[in-house]
Amino acid sequence: MRQLLLINPNTSVATTERLAHTLRPLLPDGVHLALRTASFGARYIACEASHAVAGAAVLETWAEHLASPESEASPPQGVLIGCFGDPGLFALRESSACPVTGLAEASFIEAARHGGFAIVTGGERWKPMLRRLALSLGYGEQLLHIETVAPTGAELQADPQAALRHLHQACRAAARPGVASIIVGGAGLAGYAQRLQPEVALPLIDSAQAGLKVLLERSAPPPQRATDGFFAEWSAVSPSMARLGSGPG
């Protein structure tokens, strides 16, 4: 049994359940999706501060999972960060012995196969954050436009009908010259791309489904080390973090 681990950096269990509801029907035989929800941080990440805290929560959640009986019986063979913004991506990739990706990076990988792309997501503060992430991952030139809607991802998740209206308008606005596909990004928006697709001419990419596809196809960047662990020496951290220790791996 191949095990993949989904870490939701948002503390909302409802968001974890939405991701699971969207992804589990897509799992092939022989693949299990383990679920973990961050135990601290923001209920739904929507700004720089909550994104920064979520990076630490991702590492803590990952360390806790590795210390669990479930992981000892079947270690994860891939990790998906369930937030469109990928908090902790670079740190987790550096310290994990298996491939790691996030909803945003995986969506960029998928969208880039079509050419230039746009993003539609909830929450106005995400625009500079996503632009910075795309640049750092090497997709700055292919990301042609970011269309945000005023409601946050949490607000859109809470009102599906309003979400469809807002997202449909945003997709129309994002269909600009040179854009070959549109990413519908957000953990709380998992599954919406399929519902919106009949009304939008350009291909829509669901960020959650892209994350799973990239892990299944092994399209994520390979791990940098052979064992799980950190390079830093910690003080005053949880037993799970301390257990992983430090060293070159």
Per-residue pLDDT tens for 83-100? 999 999 999 999 999 999
Say how far apart CA 122 and CA 229 lie, in whole Å: 34
Whether residue 96 sits in one domain with residue 21: yes
Q: Could you tell me if 207 and 118 lie in one domain? A: yes
Residues 231, 195 share a domain: no
Calculate what percentage of the chain has a pLDDT beyond 90.
85
**Are 75 and 121 found together in one domain?**
no
Q: Which two tokens stand for residue 38?
A: 């961050």
pLDDT of 249 > 70? The answer is no
Paired tokens of 162: 């309003």
Instruction: Give one DSSP letter per residue of 200-233, joined into a string.
Output: -SS-EEEHHHHHHHHHHTT-SPPPS-SS--BSSP
In this model, does residue 184 exceed pLDDT 70?
Answer: yes
pLDDT, tens only, 23-53:
999 999 999 999 999 999 999 999 999 999 9
Q: Is a pLDDT exceeding 80 seen at residue 152?
A: no
What is the pLDDT at residue 246?
Answer: 67
Cβ pair 97, 226 in contact under 8 A: yes
Confidence check: pLDDT of 13 > 50: yes
Query: Do both 178 and 190 map to the same domain?
Result: yes
Q: Are residues 124 and 67 in the same domain?
A: no
CA distance 238 to 230: 14
Do 94 and 22 form a contact (C-beta atoms < 8 A)?
no
- 144 occurs within a structural domain: yes
Asked if 118 and 186 sit in the same domain, the reply is yes
pLDDT value at 156 more than 90: no
113 and 205 co-located in one domain: yes
Which CATH number goes with the domain that contains 204? Answer: 3.40.50.12500
Distance in angstroms (rounded) separating the CA atoms of residues 194 and 98: 30
pLDDT above 50 for 144 = yes
pLDDT band at 245 (very low <50, low <70, confident <90, very high): confident
Mean pLDDT, rounded, for 163-191: 95
Check residue 50 and give its pLDDT: 98
Domain that holds residue 76: 2-102+214-244
- Give the mean model confidence (pLDDT) for residues 182-188: 96
In a domain? residue 163: yes
Crossing angle of helices 13-23 and 207-216, in 10° steps, is: 60
Question: Quick check: 81 and 105 in contact, CB under 8 A?
Answer: no
Q: Do residues 141 and 183 both lie within one domain?
A: yes
Mean pLDDT of the chain: 94
User: Is the residue at 249 inside a domain?
Assistant: no
The per-residue pLDDT for 101 is: 98
Within this chain, do residues 206 and 112 fall inside the same structural domain, yes or no? yes
Task: Give the pTM.
Answer: 0.95
Number of domains in the chain: 2
- Residue 207 and residue 111 share a domain: yes
Whether residue 221 sits in one domain with residue 184: no
Residue 247: pLDDT over 60: no
At 34, list the tokens. Answer: 């383990």
> Which amino acid type is present at position 147?
E
**191 within domain boundaries:** yes
Does residue 117 belong to any structural domain of this protein? yes
